[in-house]
Amino acid sequence: DAGVIQSPRHEVTEMGQEVTLRCKPISGHDYLFWYRQTMMRGLELLIYFNNNVPIDDSGMPEDRFSAKMPNASFSTLKIQPSEPRDSAVYFCASSLLGDTNYGYTFGSGTRLTVV
């Protein structure tokens, strides 16, 4: 298995532009999570899906952020318009929560810089 795949690995964009981050979870995993990590706040859960349905989006900072999971093998996190304070590493993770002995598997992350 290739693990959780995220793209792009790095993104540099100008303030006000739309940014789309992509994630392919591990095949068969029924939970998908989007996290943001900064030095100041550590890992923050933004939103998570169960069987492609958003369950909890209370961590999404504001309306500029949106996430979708159109099918079991793909999810997107969109920021529109982007702001410099959105600069962070965004991780996607997937899990088969019925087997909690194995925890999460994270993707390599997208390092976003908004200038």
Region from 12-20, 63-71, 74-82, 89-97 binding other proteins, contact rule CB under 8 A: 89-97
Q: Which of 78, 68, 74 is nearest to 18 (CA)?
A: 78
Asked whether position 34 contacts other proteins by CB under 8 A, the answer is no
Residue number, 14 or 56, with CB nearest to other proteins: 56
Site string for other proteins, 37-66 (x = CB under 8 A): -----xx-x--x-x----xx----------
Q: Is the dihedral of CA 99, 104, 105, 110 positive or negative?
A: positive
Asked whether position 12 contacts other proteins by CB under 8 A, the answer is no
* Residue labelled with tokens 């997937």: 94
Q: How many Cα atoms occupy the beta-carbon half-sphere of 103 within 13 Å?
A: 2
Rounded CA-CA distance 14/34 in Å is 22
List of residues contacting other proteins (CB under 8 A): 31, 33, 42-43, 45, 48, 50, 55-56, 91, 95, 97, 100-109
